[in-house]
């Protein structure tokens, strides 16, 4: 459903700082896949997500979503296909706007916006209902500005916003890394619940090996801008941290991955 073909991205080309971030990477994501992506710092994880979402364009290669070539579509025009959550909980919501206003904006992802009221009475009821799923009490705080929420609440809200109109592909960029362990656990649990319930095709970049092994049906490790390994199905289900270390220990220079 999503295809990346021989995608290459080099930063600061032709200068002393030249860095090949993604090097001829090809990947075929099937509908319903939940792929976890690991890799040490500088392996190209974030660049991979940025290329997929259109933050910038590849130097070479093509990207297809549902058969149509989106390589040259700017970020805002890929929005109807993609939902993305960033590591920083502040990045997914507009702090000075209210909870219901943020939800209403997310509701129109990739759609035409007009001069109709941003939030109507019926929408408000709808939002109240879906917010109650989070069990954070936000359903009573629709008119509170998002700046009043904690990081975990904001990230939960972002997750709800991204999945309000179901994207063809959900991109999670270490979206629990900036949260305290307990909140992170709750957000990852919520992610699993939403992804499974809607059978969302998902790519989750994570710094946490256990998380990468525990969630999803497929795991990819990036190393120097290439796919180092790609494990799926039963082999993925049976995977343990020890085995990954045994097989790929040499590449796992980054201690943080083993936490």
Partner 1 sequence: MIPIGLFRTIPISLEQGLAYGLVALGIVITFRILAFPDLTVDGSFPLGAAVVSRLIIEGVSPIYGICMAIICGFLAGCCTGLLNTKLKINSLLAGILMMTMLYSVNLRIMGRSNIQLLTVNTLLTPLENLDINRFVPIITFFFIAVFAIKFLTDMFFNTQIGFAMRATGDNEQMIRTLGVNTDHMTIIGIGISNAFVSLSGALVAQDQGFSDVGMGIGMIVAGLASIIIGEALFGKKTVQRMTLAAIVGSIIYKLIISLGLRLGLAPTDLKMATGVMVILALGIPALRKEKEGKLHLRGV
CB of 182 to partner 1, least distance (A): 25
CA atoms within 13 A on the CB side of 169: 23
**Which residue number, 83 or 225, has a Cβ lying nearer to partner 1?**
83
Of the candidates 235, 75, 79, the residue with the CA atom closest to the CA atom of residue 170: 79
- Least distance (Å) from partner 1 to the CB of residue 233? 31
Residues 119 to 148 in contact with partner 1, rule: CB under 8 A: 119, 145
| Residue 247 neighbours by CB under 8 Å, 6+ apart | 229
Nearest to 39 by CA among 191, 174, 199: 174
Neighbours of 71 (CB within 10 A): 16
Closest CB 2 distance from partner 1, rounded Å? 16
Please tell me whether residue 251 binds partner 1 under the rule CB under 8 A.
Answer: no
CA distance 213 to 140: 37
| Number of neighbouring beta carbons within 10 Å of residue 157 | 23
Contact 83, 2 (CB under 8 A): no
Interface with partner 1 includes 94 (CB under 8 A)?
yes
State which residue, 94 or 237, has the beta carbon closest to partner 1. 94
Per the structure block, which two tokens stand in for 167? Answer: 């994207």
In the complex with partner 1, the residue whose CB is nearer, 90 or 133, is 90
Does residue 232 contact residue 218 with C-beta atoms inside 8 Å? Answer: yes
Choice from 15, 115, 233, 250 touching partner 1 (CB under 8 A): 115
151 in contact with partner 1 (CB under 8 A): no
* Shortest Cβ 84–partner 1 spacing (Å): 5
> Per CB under 8 A, does 80 bind partner 1?
yes
What tokens were used for 129?
């209902």
Find out whether 22 and 47 touch, Cβ atoms under 8 Å. yes
The continuous run of DSSP H or E covering 34 comes out as strand 34-38
Using rule CB under 8 A, residue 256 touches partner 1: no
Is residue 96 near partner 1 by the rule CB under 8 A? yes
H-run or E-run covering 126? helix 121-131
Nearer to partner 1 among residue 23 and residue 55 (C-beta): 55
Choices 12-20, 24-32, 38-46, 74-82; region in contact with partner 1 by CB under 8 A? 74-82
Chosen residue from 67, 114, 181, 233 binding partner 1 by CB under 8 A: 114
Asked if 111 touches partner 1 (CB under 8 A), the answer is yes
Query: Closest separation between CB of residue 157 and partner 1, Å?
Result: 12
| d(C-alpha 243, C-alpha 85), whole Å | 30
Q: How many residues bind partner 1 (CB under 8 A)?
A: 34
Which residues lie near partner 1 (CB under 8 A)?
53, 75-77, 79-80, 82-84, 86, 90-97, 101, 104-106, 108-111, 113-119, 145
């Amino acid at each position: 459903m999503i295809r990346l073909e021989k995608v290459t991205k080099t930063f600061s080309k032709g200068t002393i700082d030249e860095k090949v971030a993604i090097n001829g990477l090809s990947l075929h994501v099937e509908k319903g896949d939940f792929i976890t992506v690991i890799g040490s710092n500088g392996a190209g994880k974030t660049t991979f997500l940025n290329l997929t979402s259109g933050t910038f364009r590849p130097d070479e290669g093509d990207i297809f979503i549902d058969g149509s070539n989106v390589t040259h579509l700017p970020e805002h025009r890929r929005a109807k296909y993609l939902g993305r959550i960033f590591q920083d909980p502040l990045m997914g919501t507009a702090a000075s706007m209210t909870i219901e206003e943020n939800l209403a904006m997310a509701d129109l992802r990739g759609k035409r916006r007009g001069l109709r009221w941003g939030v109507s009475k019926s929408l408000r009821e709808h939002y109240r209902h879906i917010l109650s799923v989070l069990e954070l009490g936000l359903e009573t705080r629709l008119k509170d500005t998002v700046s009043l929420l904690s990081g975990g609440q904001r990230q939960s809200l972002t997750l709800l916003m991204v999945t309000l109109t179901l994207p063809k592909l959900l991109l999670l960029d270490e979206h629990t890394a900036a949260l305290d362990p307990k909140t992170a656990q709750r957000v990852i649990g919520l992610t699993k619940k939403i992804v499974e319930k809607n059978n969302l095709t998902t790519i989750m970049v994570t710094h946490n090996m256990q998380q990468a092994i525990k969630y999803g049906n497929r795991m990819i490790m990036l190393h120097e801008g290439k796919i180092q390994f790609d494990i799926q199905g039963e082999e993925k289900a049976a995977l343990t941290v020890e085995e990954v270390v045994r097989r790929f220990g040499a590449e796992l220079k980054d201690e943080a991955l083993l936490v």
